Structure 1
Amino acid sequence: MLLSAILVAILAIISQWWFFAPITRCMTYPLTTGLLVGIFMGNPMLGMLSGATIQLVYLGWINTGGVMPSNTMVAGIFGTALTILSGANPKLAVTFAVPFSLIGLLMVEIYQSVNSFWVHKADTELAKGNIKAVRFLNYVPSLIVATIVYGIPAFCLVFFGRGWAQGMLRMIPKSLTVALEVVGAMMPALGIAMLLNYLGKKNLVPYFFVGFFLTAYLKLQIMAIAIFAGLLAYLLYINAKANSTTKTNVPAKKKVRRLTLQNRNGEEDQVSATPSNEKNDEPTTVVYRVKLTKGDLVKTWLWEQSDESAYNYERLQALGLTNMMIHPIKKLYPKEKQADELKKYMVFFNTEPHMVGPVIHGIALSMEEARANGAKISAEDINGVRTGLMGPAAGIGDTVQQGIIFPILASIGATMALEHNYFGPIMFTLIFELIIYSIGYWMFMYGYKKGKSSVVSILKSGLLDKVTNAFSIVGLMVVGTMAATRVTIKTPLVWHVGQSVIRLQSLFNQLAPSLIPLLITLLVWWLLRKKVNASIIVVGIFVVGILCSYLGILATI
């Protein structure tokens, strides 16, 4: 049990201490951590089932702008661990996880508040010219805080908790256990409804019902629905793209402030570093005497994966991005200027860090290289571009990554996991990370090569809307499938009319299979659209589920 407690504690630590994103990114998701907790505690099947069950509740909980609506890391790890310790039915994992997720919000506040101290310490060290301290402060103090806030509670839960967890489960009456299972079966409706609320443009909502009824009537599996939805979305995308090329009224191009890099491999490398304006559109020519190699770019991109190691409320990603720039700054500037050049990155900064956001860092790197070679680019120019682009990049990145790619893959992975297939969480983790980090690497390099015009061209092309709509179609159809299969609620009501027995669920099945799960999901969606807080809905599901179970109105399938 000691080894299990240590391993689960380490997992809890790195679920918040994001020291290297390709390792830590999926540690925020119960689908991934549930299986790992199960392996560490000697019951991988129960761990996987518990993690997948918990994940369904949090399919639509999207973290944007540094705001975390619920702590899914704590919910997944602590909720799964308690389920295994108590030996409970995995359907009860949700009822264990939800309270932990709320406690986890306090843990996040402590972690990110304390990390603000290290930012001020880094300011002081840079003023002294101590660059090495920035790297130390980005990793070590935040590790200590994560260990105290996350690691020690996780260790204590696993090492000391088996006895009281099993005792607690024995104290719960059988009728209440059944009622809590009803609550757990209803909870996925919240995650599905949140995704529907996020993806549900009026013209796309019918695709949700297409996915639902294909599953309810034809019993198609989620992979079949995903493949069908993908092909349909591709055809619609091609059609939309073809229609856009037929338009003849093309608006005149506007002049844009831009940075263009040319001929980096030649002897006379030049850069257009002067902003365009109506009076003077001639660029300033700069000869590159100091250049970044492909190896330098790759190293910088790798360091960028630690940009949230010391994530904090005051300046969010600032310390991590300053750490990222240490290598290129050392390459571009003499030692006496390095600390001063790093100071410009110690300002508030926050964007989607893994997939679209890296384009900003590539652009900043190209501007920094030009500045080091004498271009008239000030520190204010670099930060002006970074600040101006962090909002649009976050909007694009969070929408596509958290709102589309994640729920599609997580829905498929959770469904496979709940069918006792270990490949479900493994497939989700590998494919999800392969997609976002491949795109992130390409965006980083694209931003460096093309400069600021790279983002402008993407935003003005209209391509993003077409791609987003295509992915949304896939997402909505997959979500429809989840509503039909993972909100596992039925009614046991029976009416006796003379010698006849009328089972209400049989009537519903003849009218529309899975009608009750659909109605529950649509009700929760309606509440979200009415701006009812998700936490209030969680409480409501607990109350309604327990009450309806005791009254014999609802039961699990």
Structure 2
Amino acid sequence: MFLSALLVATLATISQWWFFAPVTRCLTYPLTTGLLVGLFMGNPMLGMLSGATIQLVYLGWINTGGVMPSNTMVAGIFGTALTILSGASPTLAVTFAVPFSLIGLLMVEIYQSVNSFWVHRADAELARGNVKAIRFLNYVPSLIVAIIVYGIPAFCLVFFGRGWAQGMLNMIPKSLTTALEVVGALMPALGIAMLLNYLGKKSLIPYFFIGFFLTAYLKLQIMAIAIFAGLLAYLLYINQKANATKKDAEPTDKKVRRLTLQNRTGKQENASAALEPGTNIAQNISPLNYQIKLTHSDLVKTWLWEQSDEAAYNYERLQALGLTNMMIYPIKKLYPKERQADELKKYMVFFNTEPHMVGPVIHGIALSMEEARANGAEVSAEDINGVRTGLMGPAAGIGDTVQQGIIFPILASIGATMALDHNYFGPIMFTVVFELIIYAIGYWMFMYGYKKGKESVVSILKSGLLDKVTNAFSIVGLMVVGTMAATRVTIKTPLIWHVGQSVIKLQALFNQLAPSLIPLLATLLVWWLLRKKVNASIIVVGIFIVGILCSYLGILAVI
């Protein structure tokens, strides 16, 4: 048990201490950590089933701008561990995970607040010219805090918890256990409804119902729906692109509003002029004449260092310390020793963007500007930070939308469905494919930003390509989510009416109208509440209350 506790504690620690993103990225998801906790505790099947069940609740919980609506790391690891310790059914994993996720919000507040101290220490060390201290401050203090806040509680839970966890479960009356299983069966409606709230453009909502009814009536599997949705989205994308090309070819007298960015004086600039390659960057210096150049190997190493940009994530400056750590390698290549600390200071300002997929384009641009600056171009520190801060918002909007709102739910839905069908390939497929997609794109964006300079993001935004691609992926996502509503909100009604000599089963009537009608109605109700701005935490409490009451009253049961 000691080894199990130690392994789970390590997993809990690095689920928050993001020392290298390709290792830690998917440890924020219960679908991945559930299987790992199960392996560490000797029951991989129960761990996988518990993690997949928990993941369904958090399909639509999207973390943006440093704001975490619920701590899915704690929910997945602690909730799965407690399920295994108590020997409970996987359907009860959700009822264990939700309280842990709320406690986890306090844990992340402690973690990110304490990490703010290391930023000020880094400022002081750079003022002394001590560049080496940045590496230490980015990794070691935040690791210690993560061990204290996450690792030690996880170790204690696993090492000391088996006896009281099983005793707690034995103390719960059978009727309450059944009621909590109803709650667990209802909870996925929240995750699905949150995705609908996020993806649900009015023009695209019918695709949710298409996915639902294809599954409810034709019993199609989620992979079949995903393939069908992908082909349909591609055809619509091609058609949309063809129409746009035809429209562009038509003469028009309408004036087109051009993308603008704020310059560092607060005035609006035309984006294509403000970010034109060579403008105020290398006036009389061609990159071909650079005396100091970054090699492809230097760029790859810098991109790898960028994967630690959230190791010391903190409330005060968010990714600043991690990005300063990233820039140590290229700054040392570009500048003499006496300038290195001063050049790094510009990166110790507040910075936050989507870090893995689209955000790296900003760091590539910054590298191209640093290279020009090191070769004598009139590029100031304010120029570099002006571009960085001007682009971090658009990059975050694109990255979070595509990664967390589209790619993740599609892959997680497929992976969770496979896992709940007792297929170990589900969480493995999700983890591998998800990371391959986001880091392949992230690497390409990093290099694209460096090669194209400041025009790169603007060219993407002005092309209109993003909206077309986002709509295509949203169609796939909505159809997959429709399938989840039909198969993973596993509630029914056991109500029976006696009319004379006849027995009328209410569920049979609903099945004649539309199979899985009750799960659909539950999902739509939760979605309606979210659109009315009801807080998700209040909805969670409401699901607990309604689920328990309806179970005791014999209105709802688990399929």
- Normalising by structure 1, report the TM-score: 0.96
Q: How big is the shift at 1:148?
A: 0.2
Q: How big is the shift at 1:256?
A: 1.9
Which one-letter code corresponds to 1:48 in the other structure?
M
CA shift digits 1:309-332 (9 cap, x unpaired): 000000000000000000000000
Q: How big is the shift at 1:257?
A: 1.6
Residue of structure 2 in register with 1:431 after alignment: 433
2:138 aligned with 1:138, yes or no? yes
What SS is found at the alignment partner of 1:553?
coil
Cα distance in structure 1, aligned partners of 2:530 and 2:336: 56
Residue of structure 2 in register with 1:94 after alignment: 94
Residue of structure 1 in register with 2:264 after alignment: none
Aligned 8 A contact 1:259 1:367 in 2: no
Cα distance in structure 1, aligned partners of 2:329 and 2:112: 26
Aligned 8 A contact 1:226 1:474 in 2: yes
Cα distance in structure 2, aligned partners of 1:360 and 1:197: 29
Aligned 8 A contact 1:49 1:90 in 2: yes
Cα distance in structure 1, aligned partners of 2:251 and 2:399: 30
Which one-letter code corresponds to 1:58 in the other structure?
Y
2:274 aligned with 1:257, yes or no? yes
Residue of structure 2 in register with 1:268 after alignment: none
5 Å-filtered alignment, 1:151-166, equals 151-166=151-166
Aligned 8 A contact 1:494 1:502 in 2: yes
What SS is found at the alignment partner of 1:256?
helix
Cα distance in structure 1, aligned partners of 2:238 and 2:313: 41
Residue of structure 2 in register with 1:2 after alignment: 2
2:312 aligned with 1:295, yes or no? no
Cα distance in structure 2, aligned partners of 1:418 and 1:324: 40
Cα distance in structure 2, aligned partners of 1:36 and 1:208: 32
Q: How big is the shift at 1:249?
A: 3.7
- Pick from 357, 366, 369 the counterpart of residue 367 of structure 1: 369
Aligned 8 A contact 1:364 1:386 in 2: yes
**Aligned residues between the structures:** 540
Cα distance in structure 1, aligned partners of 2:251 and 2:177: 65
Aligned 8 A contact 1:259 1:450 in 2: no
Q: How big is the shift at 1:284?
A: 3.3
Query: Do the aligned partners of residues 469 and 239 (structure 1) sit closer, same or farther apart at CA in structure 2, a change above 3 Å counting?
Result: same
Q: How big is the shift at 1:259?
A: 5.1
Q: How big is the shift at 1:273?
A: 4.3
Which one-letter code corresponds to 2:175 in the other structure?
S
Residue of structure 2 in register with 1:188 after alignment: 188
Residue of structure 1 in register with 2:349 after alignment: 347
Cα distance in structure 2, aligned partners of 1:274 and 1:121: 34
What SS is found at the alignment partner of 1:350?
coil
CA shift digits 1:481-500 (9 cap, x unpaired): 00000000000000000000
Aligned 8 A contact 2:283 2:378 in 1: no
Cα distance in structure 1, aligned partners of 2:338 and 2:137: 21
Aligned 8 A contact 2:357 2:399 in 1: yes
CA shift digits 1:226-248 (9 cap, x unpaired): 00000000000001111111122
5 Å-filtered alignment, 1:397-436, equals 397-436=399-438
Residue of structure 2 in register with 1:267 after alignment: none
CA shift digits 1:243-283 (9 cap, x unpaired): 111122476786422253xxxxxxxxxxx2427xxxxxx94
Aligned 8 A contact 2:283 2:377 in 1: no
5 Å-filtered alignment, 1:453-532, equals 453-532=455-534
Q: How big is the shift at 1:421?
A: 0.1
Residue of structure 2 in register with 1:35 after alignment: 35
Which one-letter code corresponds to 1:546 in the other structure?
I
Residue of structure 2 in register with 1:116 after alignment: 116
Aligned 8 A contact 1:273 1:377 in 2: no
Which one-letter code corresponds to 2:232 in the other structure?
L
Aligned 8 A contact 1:38 1:84 in 2: yes
2:326 aligned with 1:324, yes or no? yes
Residue of structure 2 in register with 1:197 after alignment: 197
What SS is found at the alignment partner of 2:544?
helix
- Pick from 276, 280, 298 the counterpart of residue 274 of structure 1: 280
Residue of structure 1 in register with 2:45 after alignment: 45
Cα distance in structure 2, aligned partners of 1:459 and 1:388: 13
Q: How big is the shift at 1:449?
A: 0.3
Cα distance in structure 2, aligned partners of 1:256 and 1:85: 62
CA shift digits 1:157-195 (9 cap, x unpaired): 000000000000000000000000000000000000000
Cα distance in structure 2, aligned partners of 1:469 and 1:499: 54
Cα distance in structure 1, aligned partners of 2:132 and 2:446: 25
Aligned 8 A contact 1:273 1:285 in 2: no
Q: How big is the shift at 1:214?
A: 0.1
Aligned 8 A contact 1:304 1:324 in 2: yes
Cα distance in structure 1, aligned partners of 2:70 and 2:198: 16
Residue of structure 2 in register with 1:546 after alignment: 548
Residue of structure 2 in register with 1:536 after alignment: 538
Aligned 8 A contact 2:138 2:312 in 1: yes
Aligned 8 A contact 1:356 1:394 in 2: yes
Cα distance in structure 1, aligned partners of 2:61 and 2:429: 21
Cα distance in structure 1, aligned partners of 2:357 and 2:331: 23
Cα distance in structure 1, aligned partners of 2:41 and 2:150: 18
Residue of structure 1 in register with 2:243 after alignment: 243
What SS is found at the alignment partner of 2:497?
strand
What SS is found at the alignment partner of 1:240?
helix
CA shift digits 1:398-456 (9 cap, x unpaired): 00000000000000000000000000000000000000000000000000000110001
Residue of structure 2 in register with 1:220 after alignment: 220
Residue of structure 1 in register with 2:173 after alignment: 173
CA shift digits 1:54-79 (9 cap, x unpaired): 00000000000000000000000000
CA shift digits 1:519-550 (9 cap, x unpaired): 00000000000000000000000000000000
5 Å-filtered alignment, 1:61-80, equals 61-80=61-80
Cα distance in structure 1, aligned partners of 2:331 and 2:276: 19
Residue of structure 2 in register with 1:231 after alignment: 231
Residue of structure 2 in register with 1:14 after alignment: 14
Which one-letter code corresponds to 1:363 in the other structure?
I
Aligned 8 A contact 2:302 2:329 in 1: yes
- Normalising by structure 2, report the TM-score: 0.96
Aligned 8 A contact 1:273 1:284 in 2: no
What SS is found at the alignment partner of 1:460?
helix
Aligned 8 A contact 1:274 1:284 in 2: no
- Pick from 336, 339, 343 the counterpart of residue 337 of structure 1: 339
What SS is found at the alignment partner of 2:461?
helix
Which one-letter code corresponds to 1:333 in the other structure?
Y
Identify unmatched segments of 5+ residues in structure 2: 259-269
Cα distance in structure 2, aligned partners of 1:541 and 1:177: 15
Which one-letter code corresponds to 2:275 in the other structure?
R
Moved more, 240-249 or 292-301: 240-249
Aligned 8 A contact 1:362 1:447 in 2: yes
What SS is found at the alignment partner of 1:325?
helix
- Pick from 305, 323, 336 the counterpart of residue 307 of structure 2: 305
Cα distance in structure 2, aligned partners of 1:458 and 1:201: 22
What SS is found at the alignment partner of 1:502?
strand
Cα distance in structure 1, aligned partners of 2:284 and 2:524: 59
Cα distance in structure 1, aligned partners of 2:80 and 2:136: 33
